Structure 1
Amino acid sequence: MRVFFTSIVATILIISSFGWADSTRNNAQKIKLPHLDLDVTSQELRQLLMKQKPNLFSFGKPVSGPVEYALQIGERLLSWVDIINANRAKEDKLRLTSPQNRVSYPITAPNHYSRRTIELGLAAVKAQMPLDMRDILFGEAPLPNKNPITDEDFINFGRKVDRIYQSAARWTMLIQFKGIYIEARVDDIRGYYFLQTNGWNQNTLKNWPTIDIDTQAQIKEALIGICINARNSFARCKSKIDSVVDVTGIVNFYKLYIQKSAGVYKSFFEISNARRDIKWNKGSSFLASIPFLTPSSEEVKRYIKENIEDEYSWKSWGLKIDFINQNPAPYVVFTPGVVPHVEYIGGNKIEMDANASLDEYEVQWTIRHEFGHVLGFPDCYHEFFDEVNYEFINYQIDVNDLMCSRAGNFTQRIYDQLEASYMR
């Protein structure tokens, strides 16, 4: 689900720029949702949880279930890593995440998590973990400042625990909004994606009688998906597809819903709230510029200019930052403990965490991504709640895209959208 916030859990207004299906967007309503991109770090999740539910981290107190237990084990792991790293040189520190080992959730292999998967996942890792690490991590004794096993094994098993911790943290923060995430299923575009990438359309579907049974089942599942994009329930869509008995019915079903589904898909990528202060003339097609309120320090000024101008370039084209001393213009503020965000798509205010070092990779990626929202781009990842299996499902539509994933970069499609919206 694509949302933005103004505090840890913030009041936001759902409007067209947030990527919900049209009728949902038009029924604007005030809600409170945490803003969590799909590859948010455990440290960021930890920050949010400690503010929302500080009592979760009293290790050894009675726990109410497997999710809370996973949170306590995950917090104990993060604390242990901090203790070990306090006595190590920078190059020798244990790191559970890095740009090289980032976990992505492509649309073809989405992430599923529930109370059950969290419980089973933690039990499986505990059973496989080296005894010396397990006794400490799952025990109650004070955490030592040394690693009892090899760094390679510690990182390997630590990452597995860390992923479970992340699922438990997301579950804890999002389950209270289950009803909203159930509604968000209307934006699940996996069906459309499957049909498009596998070449199934009104012409190829005419070969229905010759298609093997397994592929027919996949196509029917995808057709249910595009039916849901038209704001029909899963039960209604399944009933409708189950009643189709011939090739004509299959083709007509596809034709009935494909355009609506295509619109939902496009909403993840199109600039929905174009700015008016970008200069990009056809006569100077190799350069565009945008004003930016001059930061108070040279360090922040350099951070803004270097990261944005480095990222927003394509072949011989580039976006230039023009610092000015008057509003209105995009600007950055630093607030301790906040998860970085832009006030709304196409907005000016970028809020960053004052506690984070500007030299860190995550912080450099973040300003590049958030500036995409300033330019009018939505997030191109999605998360919703599946009532049938009682689980959350999320995925990144293109793991190589700057607006979908922290592993992503500026792409041709971003350039094309900018050109279509801003070249005059």
Structure 2
Amino acid sequence: MSEEQTDRLAQRLATVRERLDRGMDRRSFLRTLISGGYAAGMAAWLGVDDFLAADDGEVPVVTALVRDDPDDPWSIRERTRTVPAKWYAAVETAFDVNQRLADIAFTGYLGSAVVPGDHESGTAAVSVGVSGNGHSVTEMVGEFAEGIDLNEETIIDVDDIQNGPEHREPQLVDALPNGQVPSGVACETPTSMATLGPALYHPDGERRFFVTAEHAFMDDHDAMGSTLTLPRQEEEAIELGTVAHYHPTEDIAAVEPSGRVEPASRINTPAQPRVRGQFTRFGLADLVARDAELEKVGALTGHTTGKIQGVDAVTCFTEDFCRRGQIRWGGEMDLTDGDSGSVSYHRDPEGEDDDVLIAGFNNARTWWPGQSYVWGVGAYRLTEQHGYHF
């Protein structure tokens, strides 16, 4: 196929996709395919089988990556569900508006997040944080934000407000069943303490890693090769391994196990929930539409729950670059120094009672008046950017 033919085909596919997003019914969809001369293989590329299985006014979306076999992290597959087409179109448009805001990065822009409405409303909004001397958001992006509410909030100088954390005793690991370390317990870098996340997997070579926050290695300009250890209640600390990969923008450090103990897909609560997979971007939006809460277990604050306040967020508060693919949830009291590296999660709606899906990886909290939430990178972003999955 020539480059010109490829471009024409891409344009035709985009037109059909846009009409699907607006809620085209199944008969109209079929007529469009037939009149456009689409081959059966191209129809399959568009997800026609899923589309035809849905009721009129609904479209299928991928909401999660889930293991077929709970004990096999490489049996990961996509899970789909149907959602109202009007809601899907609104959320997809809000995602696009949010990304354009980040691309423009106008003076005073500090971040933004998509806030889906419930399914019945068929709406979505974008919350935008600006400094006091920033431009009007509506003036900047009004031409491509039609139909999307833009909620502008002025944020004062975040650099001068941070308060010191309340002193708490860290949660140290007690037992190591089967030589595996669960998520939610304290771990130590050469310079500080953090929280250990659940096992992080990469399909390249079927590798598994311990994982925690990259900023816990803050005194190392290059975290590569730094050691991560596991403090114990009454026994000598265990070396977990050394940093094999680190990603400052997403704020994660992947640690190659040294061999004595292994990372576990379990969360350190009395019920020891099992990680079965992770939510996609639309899976998180669907949780917001259902008014669902996330949970987390940190080494300092322990187990907390909270509402999701925004998805696919952009955060430009702390560095000279912006972090994308973020989740905002809960309140500022749900995280403190030492909790970074924990994960947010929600019960798997189609799994067993103790199965959970990971939402994101907790990195920081607000510390300025007027806003209160935890932020961190979405699990889907780690998959998109680096291939990892939980």
Structures share a fold, TM > 0.5? no
Greater RCO (CA < 8 Å, at least 6 residues apart): 1
* Between structures 1 and 2, the one with greater helix share: 1
- TM-score normalised to the size of structure 1? 0.27
* Between structures 1 and 2, the one with greater strand share: 2
- TM-score normalised to the size of structure 2? 0.29
Q: Tell which structure's C-alpha radius of gyration is larger.
A: 1
